Amino acid sequence: MSEIRTACADGILRIDFNRPEKKNAITAAMYQSLADALESAATDRSVRVVLFGSTSAIFTAGNDLGDFRSNPPRSGDTPVFRFLRALSLAEKPLVAAVPGPAVGIGTTMLLHCDFVIAAHGARFHMPFVDLALVPEAASSYLLPRLAGWQAAAEMLMLGTPVSAERAHAIGFVHKVVDPDALEPTAMEIAHKLAAKPPEALRLTKRLMKDGLREGVAAALAGEGKVFAERLGTPEAKEAFDAFFEKRKPDFSKFG
């Protein structure tokens, strides 16, 4: 069964993470499917809105760490970078329904969504530094602007997870609802958007993003380069080994 499920109805393209046994950790093959879906949505007139969700109680545990270790992204045309580019350049509205934990790119991808609906109990966590990595998806650029420096430093430097309620207060979640209300609330917003005049909506989003476009593109390129370098470092090896050996990493030997 497909680990990225897509289905289009009533102008709404649903893209659901569907790898529950690995907490929806995203492999290169899954990034490929995500990128393909977004790229074709951009030119498919029958798609008015894209809605990201999950078939289980977790949104996603982020990058598949094993896949990253054995198959690190090295160039700009690798699936993860294709996905991030398509996400950041999307002109159609993006909605996300977040039922539970959203880790790493599971949170940073939401900074590119126009409406993020989270269930009470959802949690947003960007443990890049703890993995000896750096932020991606232009989060180092977008998050300080959205959340302010202190909250961004708390999330990106300390790697502190934040609750759905805090994420709402910070401004990267539109609404926090009971788990039962997650799907209906996200679908209601998606249906409203799908009924709007599509060109006016696209132009509005384009204008809203005008002041951010260059900064986002530069951050994606800069982060991508450092991120790829970091994956090959001894610090990252220790962090990844510790995850798979289910132990605490020991960074004391690094200067």
State the residues that interact with ligand COA by CB under 6 A: 22-23, 25, 61-66, 101, 103-104, 127-128, 131
110 in Cβ contact with 117 (< 8 Å)? no
CB of 125 to ligand COA, least distance (A): 7
Q: Which two tokens stand for residue 158?
A: 């300390």
Position of minimal CB gap to ligand COA: 104
Q: What angle do CA 41, 125, 105 make, to 5 degrees?
A: 30
- Residue by residue, DSSP assigns 103-120 as ETHHHHGGGG-SEEEEET
Least CB distance from residue 179 to ligand COA, whole Å? 16
What is the closest distance, in whole angstroms, from the C-beta atom of residue 130 to ligand COA in the complex? Answer: 8
Select 65 or 153, whichever has its Cβ closest to ligand COA.
Answer: 65
Nearer Cβ to ligand COA, position 208 or 244? 244
Q: Which is nearer to ligand COA, 127 or 198 (CB)?
A: 127
Nearest CB to ligand COA, comparing residues 139 and 185: 139
Q: How far is CA 144 from CA 37, 49, 90, 162, in A?
A: 29, 27, 22, 15
Sign of CA dihedral 111, 113, 115, 118: negative
Q: How far is the CB of 25 from ligand COA (least distance, A)?
A: 3
